[in-house]
Amino acid sequence: MTGLTIHEFSDDLAHHFRDINAEWIEAMYRMEATDHEVLGDPRGRIIDPGGAILFVEAGGRGIVGACALQRTAPACFELTKMGVRSAARGTGAGAFLLAAMIARAKSMGAETLYLLTNRKSAAAIHLYEKAGFVHDAGIMADYGARYERCDVAMRYPL
């Protein structure tokens, strides 16, 4: 898809972060307490503690995707709450956004970049593998209990 643009988090865009992520979570799983907390207060839960949220806009379609880097320890970030609106899936917006998030993690000095997901999210897992993420039992052991639905943990080799 041409005409993709990355946007930084702003309070004016926070509703897109909530709506995009609630769409896929509710379609495939159920909202957990941590989902409600993060989606309800992205500035307080992601931005202020040293994380980042980026959005992807598709020309003529508006904001179609969102993703966050949540600081979980010094130089350690979870790639989390990555979603693309169902109408924009398969357009390349997700890969574009993921590449921007990996670059952002590097620029923020990340030494560990990981994600937690579920095997039901096969398309997302394929996207992560294609971008270079590898399955990691240590990440699962350290962080996997964060979500009831988590049965896949991956790390990006920085």
Give per-residue pLDDT as tens, 77-131.
Answer: 999 999 999 999 888 999 999 999 999 999 999 999 999 999 999 999 999 999 9
Phi–psi pair at 74, nearest 5 degrees: -55, 130
* pLDDT tens by residue, 16-38: 999 999 999 999 999 999 999 99
| Confidence at 145, pLDDT banded by 50, 70, 90 | confident
Residue 60 has pLDDT above 90, yes or no: no
Buried b (16+ CB within 10 A) or exposed e, 31-57: eeeebeebbeebeebbbeeebbbbbbb
The mean pLDDT of the chain is 95
| Domain residue ranges in the chain | 4-156
Q: With contact defined as beta carbons under 8 Å apart, do 112 and 75 qualify?
A: yes
**What's the pLDDT score for residue 147?**
83
Q: In this prediction, what percent of the chain has a pLDDT beyond 70?
A: 99
Residue 151 has pLDDT above 90, yes or no: yes
Q: Rounded to two decimals, what is the model's pTM?
A: 0.95
In this structure, which amino acid lies at residue 117? T
Residue 126: CA atoms inside 13 Å, Cβ hemisphere, count? 5
Residue 52 has pLDDT above 80, yes or no: yes
**What's the pLDDT score for residue 89?**
87
**What's the pLDDT score for residue 2?**
64
Return the CATH fold of 4-156: Aminopeptidase (3.40.630)
